[in-house]
């Protein structure tokens, strides 16, 4: 259909918006662990592994939102989400809808997509010389 084919010209902008919105949601996970903001009814105790995850989520989310070092950061965050899923969610139940791992899986595959697709529009990576 012609209408949908014409939308292809907006692919870089759509990719940029996907990257930014995903990063903003991801930053919340890190800020909640680090600063209890937004306030959580069940604050996380920051052990070594949880602290590492919190820093990756907060700092990595900021870098992704800015579109800075998008591919390597997205690669690290995809790995973090895969580890988080298998360590924290999979042991509870096989099905993601039952084990609360839906968002970990979604983040993992969006980040993996960004590794291959790049930052899209609105990214500082586009201003850097590679």
What distance in Å separates the CA atoms of residue 117 and residue 70, rounded to the nearest whole number? 10
State which residues form the domain around 17. Answer: 11-126
Please check whether residue 42 lies inside any domain of the structure. yes
pLDDT one-digit tens code per residue, 37-75:
999 888 778 889 999 999 999 999 999 999 999 999 999
Cα–Cα distance for residue pair 111/8, rounded to 1 Å: 21
Query: How is residue 50 written in tokens?
Result: 């949880």
On the question of pLDDT at 115 being above 90, the answer is yes
Tell whether 37 is covered by a domain: yes
Tell me, yes or no, whether 4 lies in a domain: no
Within-domain flag for 25: yes
The CA-to-CA distance between both ends of the chain, in Å, stands at 37
Question: Residue 28, Cβ neighbours under 10 Å: how many?
Answer: 14
Q: What is the mean pLDDT of residues 19-36?
A: 96
**Predicted local confidence at residue 3, as pLDDT:** 80
CA dist 28 and 38 (Å) reads 7
Give the chain's length.
Answer: 130
The answer to whether position 117 is within a domain reads yes
Residue 18, in any domain of the structure: yes
Whole-structure pTM value: 0.92
Could you give the number of structural domains in the chain?
Answer: 1
């Amino acid at each position: 259909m012609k209408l949908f084919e014409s939308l292809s010209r907006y692919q870089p902008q759509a990719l940029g918006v996907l990257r930014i919105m995903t990063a903003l949601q991801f930053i919340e996970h890190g800020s909640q662990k680090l600063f209890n903001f937004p306030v959580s009814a069940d604050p996380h105790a920051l052990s070594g592994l949880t602290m590492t995850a919190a820093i990756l989520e907060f700092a990595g989310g900021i870098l992704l939102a800015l579109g800075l070092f998008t591919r390597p950061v997205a690669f690290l965050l995809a790995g973090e989400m895969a580890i988080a899923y298998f360590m924290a969610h999979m042991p509870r139940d096989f099905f993601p809808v039952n084990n609360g791992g839906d968002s970990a899986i979604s983040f993992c595959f969006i980040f993996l997509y960004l590794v291959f697709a790049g930052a899209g529009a609105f990214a500082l990576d586009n201003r850097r010389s590679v």
